Structure 1
């Protein structure tokens, strides 16, 4: 399984945006998105909509488990390089016709041209309801719609979160069980989800196909305004919580998708820290409770409260509506007015207003515990975070921008002084807290350390305060200011949002003002305030600008809360026992008639969940036809040449004067025992110094002269070959005027960085270990996926050495080795460099307009000239795989992550594009229905890696274990029993095309094309796979059932990440099934 497929289930949590390769402003962590309708990798890409910018830190921190980077195999082998396009809607104006506006009951409030995004934005008001609509028109084909309601909860029952899940479970116009899943199956969406903040709920969709886009919009509008869930208690029970009893003799259990999702959230110390911090900062308003839901409180929510919450807040008077893209602005208003006209204005907007938290008169301290494992030294497992609310009145734009700039100066890069001081102190292993967060009504600042020893807890806060005072007294160097300014400005102007729709990133920025009655245009206009800030810094000096901000908002701000989380090895057991005791008492209080009724209700709910929708209900969901789908994949222009014997790939694409450059070096010459060191080698390259520059100077130079540089390992199987395709990849980007600097800095990083700083390297090890601990608790599906892959093929083994449990084990021993034998560690790092750094066999990949590519080739030639032309040594023999045994990896958690995998190529199966259709269909029907809907897990999916042949099942935040494995094993039976009509089959095909034609910006197009070239995937093969996808038949599903069954029986493996108790219980029911390994 690919890393990206494994990460697909990652939910919004307090963690970095792991796989982003770009530096847009919103990519930073949004600590306040509490939940999403479905787990999705893409949601990890927009964590901070407003003021924090990413720096030039090593990409390793944003990669899966600190390890490897693999693009999804479907995109590589079958896909077009960008989303399916449709002809632009007829559009004669950037605004709706005034007569249409009047006729549909709207009035224009304000219009602005956003020069930064070449867009016209018009704010309309619907006169009858008071609903506000922002219509943004431009030439972006990736159209975006969003509707947002303020939904402030009064308690931690998770009512906004449960409602977010529930409204998409059928509606007036679309009365099937889950229209959302039908859209997943059969649309070309580039974004489809929903998510809950502490004070709002957002429902966004995106598509490049106009017909598809309006279909998505209509389903979402009907869902939010007229959902079935307000009249169907079983939907509330399924998505929220319910008691379950299969037989009277059994024990009662608690189930529910949100209930189990939040159990997983509360199992992660970092998530718990965020919730405790927020609630301590805001004891007097809605932020003092958990909108996502506390698992201990969720079962107190009643259906009547659920109904009333929807009636009160899901009303046009309380809505903010967003449209963005190249579609017809008249059609936007027509579509919306059909729904809004059914309502009258009410008091919802007033009732949903968020109360301001008055500032404290003195600081406060909060101490809590978290469930800790029994391994390691518990005295070194404390977490401390210092938090401030910065203001109780709105800040002007210049102040907001200055605070965001200050945040980047203090924390945004490895060289940033506050971040550097904390990590070099030795008081803890990794930073917690996200710095500035201005996404809610009142801005905050949070910062601390995790894995702090007992004796150093107080020292962490003392260090933070002392360093802040020092920054007031001393200020920042001109080099640091210039580097931050260039990084921020490059990021804003490039507006590279990766696979995340640009229009949605702008919506999230605007909402930070709009939701609170402030100017929604202001967050979208950065050019003027940025120039004003630059002028002010130049005139007054950085100290005069930033020192007063540190003093006012931090040092002299009494609204400060210091949160300490202490490890408790008994907490997990206590929580579990408390739940069991409550359920035991409940059962004891029930009569036989009550118990019989609960058994009946349990069976009735299960029967409803497992009963297919009738054809007439399915037919209500609008969908495209196969005729709407282009028959040919869209090609990325690629010219193959060479620079002094080194292959160069040229992609002539419009990039707005930005050059994207990739260098790929063959890493197969690196000895197997050195593989676990590669992620740390990459971090060392980015975060150590040279003979002439320390790492601070080098980091600042990168920030001043480029748009960012990163280095990381990439590994994937190559179909038909035992040896994987493995590379060290260096990626960089720069404006046209900076191209020479970009390549020179790449050379410096590759050749001149010295591996001599023992203490700094020790920090890298500690940070990586802390990240892996977090992954084991919160992304257990990724750990299980990597572990299974490592048992099935060499590429999986290589990747797992660099980012899985093997890597975590390696880190434990490496800490001691760094202390006791640093010279050998340093020598190993140098050996890695000598093993791969060579122009022979390297690959240069350039993406930009042709004139920039020509300019870049000259500087790329200079870089290649400086490298050794011949490699020392021979290709290493990577012939290892992990033992093919089932494993139960025990960690402190309230939920399970259940995996099973096998290789279908071992049965003689030959790749056909129908496998993509079938695997997606299994995920969106059988596994969704049985693992999530009936089983109560937050997610369940399968993945077919067409490069290696590995077919994997995974579940996410799952209350079950053996039951889920049984569902996996019944998949062939499900396929054999399928009766698909042509409409259902067409939906499955169209949905698959939506995956393989994933929307990409130019840098991603060039990068994907490079990987295809490395894997030998030709345009002819891509065309063939597409034809196979489009011609998939029902018989292919039934034949694939035989393939899955044969492969599973022949040689399969299961890996679960769960609590020790759950693994032991599974082994009692199925003796010897899992080899138990205590990890944390």
Structure 2
């Protein structure tokens, strides 16, 4: 094997744990380092990372991450990143800012597409245009639409971070981190503090790129089945254009405290009448950098032992204390040179913060004295080992996990290969675990560690208005210092920026962005093997796929046997199966049993409209994975949790209800667009209505009442839970989904069949849920500085019969008009549209949006964008992008599950192929049809907004009666 002359080979090792030949190179001219993993993974990954420790909280690294993808020397268009999103088969395409680094990873299963992505990204990071207009757009600027109007701040990152800082959990994480690292870069906001972002200048911005985005400050990474020499040739083409220029970007070590510190702060939140539990507390430690792979694994396993599952002793002590509603923090993090550890609670009375802190420390002391039980250690070791060997990263490319694991030490001049191996380290750790290792670590890392902070947060209902007033005061002061000429110049600058944002790129320059052709796309849908039969009286779907010695099993139960009022109980009912114990074991012992003998058992619900009718596919699943020798153990556990869970465990159920409520409230702001989407569609179809009952605002309202009902009428709650179990778990309306290779399945099929046959076989008729489908326009008030704006309708109900080609039109709309209007010009972090061809539901959505009515106006104007002539390149790119989504990468277990779900929703392979051909054959006529449908939404659609009270009130003043207002937080 030959290597590129421009690089010297430093290491060349086979790493069995990741089935890769790992080669570490150094670029001779610049000193850039490259880690190249050669393996059989068709999902190829590339990433380029720079050390970018910020010196302040202006968000300079974050704004730069956005901006380098807005045009480059080779691709001088406004948004090459969006062109890639529109027209690539990528399985991952993004960029991330961390406290000490900025990473640009891409992934694709298609080799040509992969190299296209790599080239665009390399040109973007090393030769970006970085115009001042891009800085103003992505970072911040003064906006003045009329010389008589007040100044306002605009900018994508500015509004993104306003959204981040609207979340109490994010505020806690930020303050906790800053409290531990007051003297170094980790004490700054790498994302950017909205109060500090306007301090950043364009000159500083340009200089930061010139200093940090250099090959001498680079860690480049490849993984997959592409050619190793070609990787180096591609990199040298860019690296060789630079001279060596060592960059001072090292992260210094934080000097240690001599004594713990206390921090008390507030967040912008409402106070409910009679409720004192609006606080949060977090106890945090700074940890020394791990010395080796064994210590890294030790940190992860200790975190799991203490708080990684509901039965873990520290988590259990906190949730059973009655001091709060849910745990925060999960132990020792990774990714920073000096890691931090955090444990705490949300939903506390701030006056009890000291009690929570004392409980955390006393629990740690008790565990340090007695150690962990042998069963706990065995369960944790098996859980970790199974996860490491399975190496199932879900939708996240495996290569990216390898990259970020390597960067943990590589970024700080450590060994990048050591974090990829685990056999020796895990073996040594398992041996130490039996000799009190983790008890000693608790004392070393926590109890004897005086570099500790305790952060207490409480809600301040005036903070949001106060901060808005302070911002307005700053802007008014700036405005007052502008004379007439300065005001006119600012208005002209606002208009100029908007004009530039609305300019259309030169088609010739757009054509330079590499892309695939329609001929590069597979014409046939991928078919997953499936055998349909019966097993033990239930339907069986079996998928013969290579699963590395693991059997994946899904047990599905039809929710249609339940009454409508039972549906909101299902999320907690599912948790109760695995977290209340059985008549033979408490939930601690049950959790340990699952950990010792399986790769995990989990529950979830799945909902979808069905093909060909107005019905709903609604199922509850209990899923497990195990090696064949442990299948019998796994089935015994499944039987116990399905039929013998302690549904009478009132205190445990109450704890879960409080955790569920606190968790939902914490998600309201970070996941606001999903909340709006669920609410918006709840009045359109039965499946969406059910989704709202089990995961939307209606579910939050249910949880709040349920917490009270547990106190006042536990008998009624328990009866409901038992009725759900009795009706649901019957093999007559059950499916079994198995994914494993034929030899494995042959070994375990008989045992699975016996298990299924042992389940009850009650006859319960399907129930008509009589869903309340009444769309209405709503304003849902939360304490946030940004909005999430939705508008939608059911296109089938409006008389439109669309096809797979409709998704091509929406791909174009999302990556052109909506990107420009909502994000670039509007300053929101995101704007998109969603359409479900099966149900007919359509929604417009915005994310972390400073606007409300302007966004709705943009939605209403969207049809014009689809009525405009569509160029051949735009059409082709949009088709490619949609096919990329259809052909997303899946591991074998996910392939088996997806195949089953298609069966349950009536999505045949013939229908999939029809839809594919409609996508591949999309024409301008399909864009016109979609435009007509969207125009109908402008006229007949309804609106849901989740946002601040001031914005929603102002919208109703300007457009009376627009929104029915409800305060949800």
TM-score (normalised: structure 1): 0.89
Does 2:946 correspond to 1:1045? no
Q: In structure 2, how many angstroms separate the alpha carbons of the residues matched to 1:1000 and 1:881?
A: 36
Q: For residue 1020 of structure 1, what is the aligned residue in structure 2? A: 910
Q: For residue 784 of structure 1, what is the aligned residue in structure 2? A: 676
Indicate if the aligned counterparts of 1:472 and 1:547 stay in contact, CA closer than 8 A: yes
Q: For residue 319 of structure 1, what is the aligned residue in structure 2? A: 218
Instruction: Give the Å deviation of 1:537.
Output: 3.2
Q: In structure 2, how many angstroms separate the alpha carbons of the residues matched to 1:940 and 1:981?
A: 23
Q: Secondary structure, in 3 states, of the residue corresponding to 2:169?
A: helix
Q: For residue 298 of structure 1, what is the aligned residue in structure 2? A: 197
Q: In structure 1, how many angstroms separate the alpha carbons of the residues matched to 2:45 and 2:264?
A: 43
Cα distance per residue 1:154-188 (max 9 Å; x no partner): 10000000000000000000000010000000010
Q: For residue 524 of structure 1, what is the aligned residue in structure 2? A: 420
Q: For residue 511 of structure 1, what is the aligned residue in structure 2? A: 407
Q: For residue 855 of structure 1, what is the aligned residue in structure 2? A: 747
Q: For residue 601 of structure 1, what is the aligned residue in structure 2? A: 493
Alignment of 1:185-196 (within 5 A): 185-196=86-97
Q: Structure 1 819/233 Cα, relative in aligned 2: closer, same or farther at 3 Å? A: same
Q: Secondary structure, in 3 states, of the residue corresponding to 1:711?
A: strand
Q: In structure 2, how many angstroms separate the alpha carbons of the residues matched to 1:283 and 1:1040?
A: 54
Paired residue for 1:1005, among 857, 876, 895? Answer: 895
Does 2:860 correspond to 1:983? no
Q: In structure 2, how many angstroms separate the alpha carbons of the residues matched to 1:867 and 1:821?
A: 31
Q: For residue 28 of structure 1, what is the aligned residue in structure 2? A: none
Q: Secondary structure, in 3 states, of the residue corresponding to 2:324?
A: coil
Q: For residue 296 of structure 2, what is the aligned residue in structure 1? A: 400
Q: In structure 2, how many angstroms separate the alpha carbons of the residues matched to 1:859 and 1:695?
A: 25
Indicate if the aligned counterparts of 1:961 and 1:1066 stay in contact, CA closer than 8 A: yes
Q: Secondary structure, in 3 states, of the residue corresponding to 1:731?
A: strand
Paired residue for 1:838, among 730, 734, 740? Answer: 730
Q: Structure 1 436/985 Cα, relative in aligned 2: closer, same or farther at 3 Å? A: same
Paired residue for 1:437, among 329, 333, 337? Answer: 333
Q: For residue 504 of structure 2, what is the aligned residue in structure 1? A: 612
Cα distance per residue 1:570-611 (max 9 Å; x no partner): 000011111111111221211111111111111111111111
Cα distance per residue 1:630-679 (max 9 Å; x no partner): 10011101111111332111100001001111111101111111111110
Instruction: Give the Å deviation of 1:420.
Output: 0.5
Alignment of 1:131-150 (within 5 A): 131-150=32-51
Instruction: Give the Å deviation of 1:474.
Output: 1.4
Q: For residue 444 of structure 2, what is the aligned residue in structure 1? A: 552
Q: In structure 1, how many angstroms separate the alpha carbons of the residues matched to 2:14 and 2:425?
A: 16
Paired residue for 1:388, among 285, 309, 330? Answer: 285
Indicate if the aligned counterparts of 2:350 and 2:456 stay in contact, CA closer than 8 A: no
Q: In structure 1, how many angstroms separate the alpha carbons of the residues matched to 2:382 and 2:820?
A: 49
Indicate if the aligned counterparts of 1:793 and 1:881 stay in contact, CA closer than 8 A: no
Does 2:828 correspond to 1:937? yes
Q: In structure 1, how many angstroms separate the alpha carbons of the residues matched to 2:810 and 2:237?
A: 38
Instruction: Give the Å deviation of 1:1047.
Output: 4.5
Q: In structure 1, how many angstroms separate the alpha carbons of the residues matched to 2:328 and 2:667?
A: 15
Instruction: Give the Å deviation of 1:548.
Output: 1.3
Alignment of 1:629-644 (within 5 A): 629-644=521-536
Q: In structure 1, how many angstroms separate the alpha carbons of the residues matched to 2:774 and 2:761?
A: 39
Which sections of structure 1, spanning at least 5 residues, go unmatched? Answer: 1-92
Q: In structure 2, how many angstroms separate the alpha carbons of the residues matched to 1:885 and 1:984?
A: 36
Q: In structure 2, how many angstroms separate the alpha carbons of the residues matched to 1:940 and 1:695?
A: 43
Cα distance per residue 1:310-355 (max 9 Å; x no partner): 011000000000000000011101100000001111121xx10111
Instruction: Give the Å deviation of 1:378.
Output: 5.0
Q: Secondary structure, in 3 states, of the residue corresponding to 1:778?
A: coil
Does 2:595 correspond to 1:703? yes
Alignment of 1:531-930 (within 5 A): 531-538=427-434, 540=435, 544-872=436-764, 874-930=765-821
Q: In structure 2, how many angstroms separate the alpha carbons of the residues matched to 1:471 and 1:151?
A: 39
Indicate if the aligned counterparts of 1:688 and 1:695 stay in contact, CA closer than 8 A: yes
Q: For residue 1033 of structure 1, what is the aligned residue in structure 2? A: 923
Q: After alignment, is 591-600 or 875-884 more displaced?
A: 875-884
Indicate if the aligned counterparts of 1:364 and 1:562 stay in contact, CA closer than 8 A: yes
Q: In structure 2, how many angstroms separate the alpha carbons of the residues matched to 1:536 and 1:199?
A: 33
Paired residue for 2:346, among 425, 437, 450? Answer: 450
Indicate if the aligned counterparts of 2:804 and 2:837 stay in contact, CA closer than 8 A: no
Q: After alignment, is 857-866 or 798-807 more displaced?
A: 857-866
Indicate if the aligned counterparts of 1:792 and 1:881 stay in contact, CA closer than 8 A: no
Q: Secondary structure, in 3 states, of the residue corresponding to 1:112?
A: strand
Paired residue for 1:209, among 104, 110, 122? Answer: 110
Q: Secondary structure, in 3 states, of the residue corresponding to 2:106?
A: strand
Indicate if the aligned counterparts of 2:859 and 2:938 stay in contact, CA closer than 8 A: no
Q: In structure 1, how many angstroms separate the alpha carbons of the residues matched to 2:303 and 2:274?
A: 33
Cα distance per residue 1:441-467 (max 9 Å; x no partner): 012210000111133211000000000
Which sections of structure 2, spanning at least 5 residues, go unmatched? Answer: none
Cα distance per residue 1:922-969 (max 9 Å; x no partner): 111111110000000000000001121011000000000010011111
For the aligned residue pairs, the C-alpha RMSD in angstroms reads 1.1
Indicate if the aligned counterparts of 2:779 and 2:952 stay in contact, CA closer than 8 A: yes
Indicate if the aligned counterparts of 1:887 and 1:1076 stay in contact, CA closer than 8 A: yes
Q: For residue 1064 of structure 1, what is the aligned residue in structure 2? A: 953
Q: Secondary structure, in 3 states, of the residue corresponding to 2:65?
A: helix
Instruction: Give the Å deviation of 1:720.
Output: 3.3
Q: In structure 2, how many angstroms separate the alpha carbons of the residues matched to 1:771 and 1:1033?
A: 45
Instruction: Give the Å deviation of 1:376.
Output: 4.8
Q: In structure 1, how many angstroms separate the alpha carbons of the residues matched to 2:451 and 2:291?
A: 16
Q: Secondary structure, in 3 states, of the residue corresponding to 2:183?
A: coil
Does 2:282 correspond to 1:366? no
Cα distance per residue 1:468-507 (max 9 Å; x no partner): 0100111111111111111000000000000100000110
Indicate if the aligned counterparts of 1:902 and 1:1048 stay in contact, CA closer than 8 A: no
Does 2:965 correspond to 1:1076? yes
Q: In structure 2, how many angstroms separate the alpha carbons of the residues matched to 1:552 and 1:480?
A: 20
Q: Secondary structure, in 3 states, of the residue corresponding to 2:426?
A: helix
Q: In structure 1, how many angstroms separate the alpha carbons of the residues matched to 2:627 and 2:29?
A: 49
Instruction: Give the Å deviation of 1:774.
Output: 1.3
Indicate if the aligned counterparts of 1:817 and 1:825 stay in contact, CA closer than 8 A: yes
Q: In structure 2, how many angstroms separate the alpha carbons of the residues matched to 1:754 and 1:316?
A: 59
Paired residue for 1:243, among 142, 147, 154? Answer: 142
Cα distance per residue 1:837-885 (max 9 Å; x no partner): 110021111101012222332122122122111234x322212235322
Instruction: Give the Å deviation of 1:734.
Output: 0.6
Paired residue for 1:379, among 267, 270, 276? Answer: 276
Q: In structure 2, how many angstroms separate the alpha carbons of the residues matched to 1:463 and 1:240?
A: 43
> Runs ≥4 in structure 1, deviation > 6 angstroms?
none
Q: In structure 2, how many angstroms separate the alpha carbons of the residues matched to 1:191 and 1:324?
A: 13
Indicate if the aligned counterparts of 1:268 and 1:777 stay in contact, CA closer than 8 A: yes
Q: In structure 1, how many angstroms separate the alpha carbons of the residues matched to 2:605 and 2:494?
A: 49
Q: In structure 1, how many angstroms separate the alpha carbons of the residues matched to 2:571 and 2:500?
A: 48
Cα distance per residue 1:911-930 (max 9 Å; x no partner): 41111111121111111110
Q: In structure 2, how many angstroms separate the alpha carbons of the residues matched to 1:291 and 1:491?
A: 31
Q: In structure 1, how many angstroms separate the alpha carbons of the residues matched to 2:149 and 2:274?
A: 39
Instruction: Give the Å deviation of 1:779.
Output: 1.5
Q: In structure 1, how many angstroms separate the alpha carbons of the residues matched to 2:292 and 2:553?
A: 38
Q: Secondary structure, in 3 states, of the residue corresponding to 2:381?
A: helix
Residues paired across the two proteins, number: 969
Cα distance per residue 1:34-77 (max 9 Å; x no partner): xxxxxxxxxxxxxxxxxxxxxxxxxxxxxxxxxxxxxxxxxxxx
Alignment of 1:227-306 (within 5 A): 227-229=128-130, 232-306=131-205
Q: After alignment, is 296-305 or 641-650 more displaced?
A: 641-650
Instruction: Give the Å deviation of 1:1018.
Output: 1.0
Q: Secondary structure, in 3 states, of the residue corresponding to 1:792?
A: coil
Q: In structure 2, how many angstroms separate the alpha carbons of the residues matched to 1:805 and 1:271?
A: 21
Q: In structure 2, how many angstroms separate the alpha carbons of the residues matched to 1:400 and 1:901?
A: 48
